[in-house]
Amino acid sequence: MSIESRLGEEQYCYLTTIGRVSGQPREIEIWFGARGDTIYMLSGGGMNAHWVMNILKNPHVSVRIDEETFSGTARLVEIGTPEESDARTLLATKYQGWHEGLPRSGWANTALPVAVELAPAGE
Per-residue pLDDT of the chain (123 residues; tens, 9 = 90+): 899 999 999 999 999 999 999 999 999 999 999 999 999 999 999 999 999 999 999 999 999 999 999 999 999 999 999 999 999 999 999 999 888 888 889 899 999 999 999 997 555
pLDDT given for residue 117 in this prediction? 98
> Is residue 123 domain-resident?
no
CATH for 55: 2.30.110.10
> Is residue 83 domain-resident?
yes
> Is residue 18 domain-resident?
yes
pLDDT given for residue 66 in this prediction? 96
> Is residue 103 domain-resident?
yes
pLDDT given for residue 121 in this prediction? 59
> Other C-beta atoms within 10 Å of 121: how many?
11
Domain tally for the chain? 1
pLDDT given for residue 99 in this prediction? 84
> Is residue 91 domain-resident?
yes
> Is residue 43 domain-resident?
yes
> Is residue 55 domain-resident?
yes
- pTM recorded for the entire structure: 0.93
Q: Which domain holds residue 13?
A: 3-118
How far apart (Å, rounded) are the C-alpha atoms in residues 86 and 91? Answer: 9
pLDDT given for residue 90 in this prediction? 96
> Is residue 101 domain-resident?
yes
| Residue 49 contacts residue 43 (beta carbons within 8 Å) | yes
Please work out, in degrees rounded to the nearest 5, the angle formed at the alpha carbon of residue 11 by the alpha carbons of 93 and 38: 70
Per-residue exposure over 1-28, b if at least 16 CB sit within 10 Å of its own CB, e if not: eebbeebbeeeebebbbbeeeeeeeeee
pLDDT given for residue 122 in this prediction? 53
Helix (H, G, I), strand (E, B) or coil at 30: strand
| Residue 63 contacts residue 39 (beta carbons within 8 Å) | yes
